A = this chain, B = another copy of it.
Amino acid sequence: MGEELKEYRGQIDRIDDDLLRLLNQRAALARKIGHVKGESTVLRPEREAQILQRMVRNNPGPLPDQSITQLFVEIMSHCRALETQLCVAYLGPSGTFSQEAVEKRFGHAVLGKPCNSIDDVFHTVESGKANYGVVPVENSTEGAIGRTLDLLLQSHLKVCGEVMLPVHQCLISRAAGLSAIKRVFSHAQSLGQCQSWLNTHLPAAERIAAGSNTQAILLSLEKHADSAAIAGVMAAANYDVPVLAENIEDDPRNTTRFLVIGDQEVAPSGKDKTSLVMSAPNRSGAVYDLLAPLARHDVSMTRLESRPARSGIWEYVFFLDIEGHQLEPKVALALDELRQAAAFVKTLGSYPVTT
């Protein structure tokens, strides 16, 4: 072995010794915090968000910010596991985008619990069988996932965080080529995310919505000579179906946003948003009036989503994301005024903003 190589390896060994010592010191401190009076909660989302933000802000490289974030997520995951192993429910099966979202947020020293519906994720957390749940709430191309919004309205659980996950779609099929394809199966969301591509490359193919992308693959395989499915590259590999076209999503920044739900109110991290749902009286200008308190207190709204109200009492409910934490004075004031004006306001939770 050359002298140069030896020298570098020696330097790495000394760094590893320091890392070993520091990781254990960190874990010992995390454990001490767990024993401080009143600190019974293993996971402090606002604190973890602050740590990750600071690490990325101060990252000198060469490790990319993404590696730094992932490594610190894992470090915190293992420090937490020293106290309790968290259980996190998500929309399964494993190998899906939802599982990726869990790992991105919680690291690998947690127990993932795949559920077979969004309802089931809520139920699993509500009944205490999991500490947190991760559910998709909107896609940057296709918009809201209605079922999640409906369940947020009903559930006593709080939104404790969000996870942004880049999503890339593939056209997969055992057909000889694009020209042979007469129908395309996928979840309605995925079909929507790839509309332009389908219009350009498979204008004549029938588009058939399936319950999930996994089910779409199975359906397409039943008639594989002239069928294709749209799914993630991982799902394609799982079923060993050739990928005919990659990254076919209309917007290359195609991102799915997930919410972390749990029975916990998250403290301010310094860079938060607040989700709420409210109803407006059924008269013209009502929504505009409701938003006036936000404008008055200089609170930005980052999202407004309407959903038909299932209760029948109001015609619509509105899901809002606003900047800031509900404990910040101007947000608290705006929310107070909203509550006076609206027939119904429910705060779903304040939580750290992520990218």
Contacts and interface: CB of A to CB of B under 8 A. Distances in A.
Given A108-B108, A114-B238, A78 B72 contact: no
B20 A22 contact: no
Contact of A75 (B17, B19, B79, B94): B19
A121 to B, nearest CB: 12
How many monomers of this chain does the complex have? Answer: 2
Nearest to A234: B94
Interface stretch (A32-40, A148-156, A196-204, A273-281): A32-40
A63 B24 contact: yes
A286 interface: no
A16 B58 CA distance: 11
Interface string A56-87: 00111111100110111011001101100000
Interface residues of A, number: 70
15 contacts: A4-B36, A5-B39, A11-B25, A11-B29, A13-B51, A15-B26, A24-B60, A27-B63, A62-B82, A63-B79, A71-B75, A71-B78, A74-B74, A94-B238, A95-B95
Interface of A: 2, 4-5, 8-9, 11-13, 15-33, 36-39, 47, 51, 54-55, 58-64, 67-68, 70-72, 74-75, 78-79, 81-82, 92-95, 103, 108-109, 113-116, 120, 234, 237-240
